[in-house]
Chain A
Amino acid sequence: MKRSLLTAAILALLLAVAVTAPATQNQNARTFMDGTEAYRNGDWPAAIAAFESLAESGVNSGKLFYNLGNAYLKNDDLGRALMWYERALKHIPDDPDLRFNYEYALTLTKEERGEKESPLLRILFFWKYELSPSTVGWIAILLNAALWIALSILVVRKKRLLRPSVVLTAAATVIFCATAAFNYVEPIRVRYAVILTEQAAVRSGFTDTATQLFVLHAGTRVRVERETDTRLLIRYTEDKIGWVKRSEAEII
């Protein structure tokens, strides 16, 4: 009797999961289509609301973030547009549409980039900038598997001809493993934020009466050094650092 009750409960649970999962997907698809329809009709706030509800429900997609960036840009909210573009770049850094719109949005900012990335680094470590962290991780895993398969063949067959290819595979594996490890560590150690408001006063302390050190404008990307419940300690350049309100900047 007990066993049959347990079986019935498990079946009911599986049925509930099977029924609710497609229902959620359908709801998400409807919301997404509502958002794209609103965007086509020029109703940017409605498009933002639809896309943002999807993002808040846990849809973690570079393309959705790209759409949010577009909607915010059309709605003249440069700060949030660039923040969502930055988030999208973490997922789909090689998407040409995203790169075009992101570069265009950058031309609308009032400040130039504080911390500039070296073009030489972008060339030397192109895979780091062109591939998403997930892609780098899977390439590292595949290369690692290929390396150990080649080593196994080398041990069994003892063919010298295989040695150069094993060395090359080992080198590629080390490079991609190191990049993948860096990709895991970097977001923990280095965090960036984007200024959201039209202008944000960067002050020397926590209070509104603290000395205003400099002013940043919407869309400017800054490095986050420290954070409290109400403020972020941000660094714009090596010599420009100060506190901004949390409401004026959002961590990417």
Chain B
Amino acid sequence: MILLATAAFADAAVVRAVVDRNQATVGESIALQVTIDGGKGEVDLSSLTDFKTVSRGTSSSFQMINGRTSRQLIHNFALIPLKAGNLNIPAIPVTIDGRIHYTTPIGVTIAREPPADSGQRDVYVTAEVSDPSPWVGQQMVYTFRLFNAVQVADAKFQAPEFNGFTAEEREDRQSHRTVVNGREFIVTDVVFILVPIKTGTLEIEPAVLQVGMLQRNRRPRPFSGMDAFFGRSQMTTRILETDPIAVHVKDLPPRPPGTSFSGLVGRFEIAASLDKTALQVGDSTTLTVTLSGTGNIMDTPEPAIPAPAEFKAYADNPETQIQPGPQGYSGNKIFRTALVPVQPGRYRIDPVGLTYFDLNTGGYRDISTSAFDVTVSPSETASADIEVFRGTPLQTPSLKKRVEFTGRDILPLKEGLEALKPQRSLPPLWFGFFMAIPVLVFLAARTVMQMAQKDHSPGRIMADRATQALKSAAPDDSTDGDFLSALYRALVSAILGRQGVMGTSLTWSEASDQLLKIGWNAADATAAARLLEEIESFNYSGDRLNEEKRADLMGRTRQAVRRLAR
């Protein structure tokens, strides 16, 4: 049956929702199409809480009616009802260009499925466990079965979590045919071997299988008569779930006093063999202990070998041959131990024993091997010392055992109050700051050093000399000779320094020329040259200088030196 719902809003008639049928059973899928006329839109299915929704992609089509073209965008979904009853597909919001349009709600009737053993279902699944009340550690078989009377495809299996169990799937999935209520089904088994590790009531969650089923088209389409003729069909998706299974795991009864329980639960036998019973000192013989049976045989601990104190024992890595079968794990585990006598004599190797929990009797059972009598004679080679036999470095590694955990737990708390000391990370800004400090210090130091470096050019030296000479002329108690010599040195040094040459004397004409060269006007150059000549003449004439003249000469010389220093 086709149900066509037009859009609720009269202005648009742009969106509509269509389902391929409005009656189905739980687990069957219903095809939903949301059609948008003339544009793109976002379909929001979050309000469909009674269904699991699976997108089936989009398709588009063009129509031309009376010369006008229109475009349709169709969003396809598969709806899988999650419960039985009269369910409602509410108005689905579709956002087109920022405006929300709604489809019309659709009602669908979902019926419960007929019983699995009625044979009326085309496809169904079951799950069972081999023992709903196992002992803790007892292996059990969980079997998931798919019954299909019609062709299925694209099966996707989601196993339960098996919380509280260790689980391993048997690799071979087998199929066979069976008849249920007169109808033939193909049955596919998926088998897990479970071992409960907790006691109490444990629930195995439903296993889920999603399958595609080929069905004839139910929707009328253009040329549907041709579909019928060609027998066309379409794929529908079904989600199948098993019922949850409650497993009551029993704790093992208290152990009898004095027994050492191996942890094995199942049915086991033990046997042993010794390859040589007559030995010489230093020879080795191999004791082979074989444990076989059904149960958690892989967990068998290494048995204690009751070798006499005059024997050295070297255990080899155990060999396991375990296969998962219809009843769970079965096989054997072989322990080989090399025994080396160090003293001659007659010895007895006691039986190797083991205690396990027997499922047949529901109690603990002790099993043991037979004892062996061994005769050890002195070594024929006189030099054969047991110390030599003990060990070349090449043999030792094969005899050493790998240390295994005998128990697992975490290391204790950190109880010191330093645990409260906050560990603040260095902020990036501070990191950059600390990184920049040495660079800045380096650059600053280098700049200062460059600035502090002395200028050793002739001009600088002569200018310094001029300054020094002026300073030495300044004291009032200097003799006239010293005073005049200092003024002469200051003036000559200043003139030569300005030229960038070294020297100690100048004639007045040379001084005048030098000053003209550096840009002084003729009057100033002549005045400075005359000052030089005047100083020189006072110096050589020996006339005494009064204070007024000293001040005059000093002032004029200082003025000239300062001008030259600029």
Binding site for B on A (CB under 8 A): 25, 28-29, 32, 36, 39, 54, 58-64, 66-67, 70, 73-74, 91-92, 97, 100-101, 104-105, 132-134, 137-138, 140-141, 144-145, 147-149, 151-152, 155-156, 177, 180, 184, 198-199, 206-207, 209-211
Q: How far is the CB of A51 from chain B (nearest CB, A)?
A: 9
Cα distance A58–B434 in the bound complex, in angstroms: 26
Q: Which residue of A lies closest to B55 (CB)?
A: A211
* Contact in complex: A58, B422 (CB < 8 Å): yes
Q: Flag if B51 contacts A36 (CB, 8 Å).
A: no
Contact of A211 among B54, B426, B434 (CB under 8 A): B54
Q: How far is the CA of A63 from the CA of B415 in the complex (A)?
A: 9
The residues of B that contact A151 with a CB separation of less than 8 Å are 442
By the criterion CB–CB under 8 Å, are A60 and B161 in contact?
A: no
In the complex the two chains form, is B423's CB within 8 Å of A134's CB? yes
- B434–A141 contact, CB under 8 A? yes
Evaluate contact between A64 and B420: CB separation under 8 angstroms: yes
Chain B residue with Cβ nearest A101: B410
Which of B409, B411, B431, B446 lies in contact with A180, CB distance below 8 A? B431
Knowing A29-B420, A66-B414, say if A177 contacts B435 (CB, 8 Å).
yes
| CB contact between A67 and one of B408, B414, B421, B426 (< 8 Å): that residue | B414
B423, A54: Cβ atoms closer than 8 Å = no
Closest chain B residue, CB of each to CB of A133: B425
Cβ of B417 under 8 Å from chain A: yes
Closest to B44 in A: A207
In angstroms, how far is the closest chain A Cβ from the Cβ of B166? 12
Q: CA–CA, A210 to B44, complex, Å?
A: 11
Q: Which residues of A contact B422 (CB under 8 A)?
A: 58-61
What residue of chain A has the Cβ atom nearest to residue B53's Cβ?
A: A209
Q: Which residues of A contact B431 (CB under 8 A)?
A: 137, 140-141, 180, 184
**Once bound together, how far apart are the Cα atoms of A25 and B438, in whole Å?**
36
Contact of B417 among A32, A60, A138 (CB under 8 A): A32
Query: Which chain A residue has the least Cβ–Cβ distance from B428?
Result: A184
> When the two chains form their complex, are residues A60 and B424 in contact, meaning their CB atoms are under 8 A apart?
yes
Whether A59 touches B441, Cβ cut-off 8 Å, given contacts A67-B413, A138-B426, A141-B435, is no
Query: Is the CB–CB distance between B52 and A209 below 8 Å?
Result: yes
Residues of B94-146 at the interface with A, using a CB-CB cut-off of 8 Å, are none
Query: Measured between alpha carbons, how far is A47 from B15 in the docked complex, in Å?
Result: 58
Pair B411/A207 contact, Cβ less than 8 Å: no
Among residues of A, the one whose C-beta sits closest to the C-beta of B48 is A209
Instruction: Provide a sorted-by-A list of 9 A–B residue pairs whose CB atoms are within 8 angstroms.
Output: A54-B420, A67-B413, A70-B410, A70-B412, A100-B410, A134-B424, A145-B438, A209-B48, A209-B53
Q: Which B391-449 residues sit within 8 Å CB-CB of chain A?
A: 408-426, 428, 431, 434-435, 437-439, 441-442, 445-446, 449
Contact of A73 among B53, B410, B426 (CB under 8 A): B410
Q: Which residues of B contact A199 (CB under 8 A)?
A: 161
Name the distance in Å between B165's Cβ and chain A's nearest Cβ: 13
CB of A148 to closest CB in B, whole Å: 4
Among A63, A101, A133: residue with most chain B CB under 10 A = A63
Is B45 an interface residue when CB atoms closer than 8 A count as contact? yes
In the docked arrangement, what's the CA distance between A99 and B442, Å?
Answer: 43
Report A-chain residues with C-beta under 8 Å of the C-beta of B413: 36, 39, 66-67, 70
Given A97-B411, A199-B161, A63-B445 contact (CB < 8 Å): no
CB distance from B168 to the nearest CB of A (A): 14
Bound CA–CA A61/B414 (angstroms): 11
Q: Is there contact, CB below 8 Å, between B442 and A104?
A: no
CB of A76 to closest CB in B, whole Å: 12
Find out whether the CB atom of A97 lies under 8 angstroms from the CB atom of B442: no
Decide if B201 is an interface residue (CB 8 Å cutoff).
no
In the docked arrangement, what's the CA distance between A62 and B420, Å? 9
- B164 CB to closest chain A CB, in angstroms? 12
- Given contacts A36-B413, A145-B438, A151-B442, whether A61 and B423 have CB atoms under 8 Å apart is yes
Q: Contact check: which of B53, B419, B435 meets A64 at CB < 8 Å?
A: B419
Q: A97-B414, A148-B438 are in contact. Are A209 and B51 (CB under 8 A)?
A: yes
B439 and A148 contact, CB distance less than 8 A: yes
Contacts A137-B431, A199-B161 given; indicate if A63 touches B45 (C-beta within 8 A): no
User: Is B504 in contact with chain A by the CB < 8 A criterion?
Assistant: no
- When distances are taken between beta carbons in the complex, the residues of chain B under 8 Å from A91 are 423
- Chain A hits for B426, CB < 8 A: 134, 137-138
Let me know if B49 is at the binding interface, CB within 8 A: yes
Q: Is B46's CB within 8 Å of the partner chain A? A: yes
Which residues of B sit under 8 angstroms from A155, Cβ to Cβ? 446
Among A39, A59, A101, A141, the most chain B Cβ lie within 10 Å of the Cβ of A141
**Which of chain A's residues have a CB closer than 8 A to the CB of B48?**
209
Residues of B within 8 A of A156 (CB): 449
A140 contacts B435, CB within 8 Å? yes
Contacts of B439 in A (CB 8 A): 148
Given contact pairs A62-B423, A209-B49, A29 touches B417 in the complex (Cβ within 8 A):
yes
- Complex Cα distance, B413 from A73, in Å, reads 12
Chain B residues with Cβ under 8 A from A63's Cβ? 414, 416, 418-419
Tell me the residues in window 154-171 of chain B with beta carbons closer than 8 Å to chain A beta carbons.
161, 163
In the complex, what's the smallest C-beta–C-beta distance from B53 to chain A, in angstroms? 5
Contact in complex: A61, B419 (CB < 8 Å): yes
Among residues of A, the one whose C-beta sits closest to the C-beta of B45 is A209
Complex CA–CA separation, A207 to B52 (angstroms): 11
CB B76 to nearest CB in A, in angstroms, measures 14
Q: How far is the CA of A63 from the CA of B49 in the complex (A)?
A: 46
Report the bound CA distance from A82 to B541 in whole Å: 106
Closest A residue to B446 by beta carbon equals A155
Chain A residues lying within 8 Å of B449, measured Cβ to Cβ, are 156
Chain B residue nearest in CB terms to A102: B410
Kindly identify, within residues 438 to 469 of chain B, every residue whose CB is under 8 Å from any CB belonging to chain A: 438-439, 441-442, 445-446, 449
The smallest C-beta distance from B336 to any residue of chain A, in angstroms, reads: 29
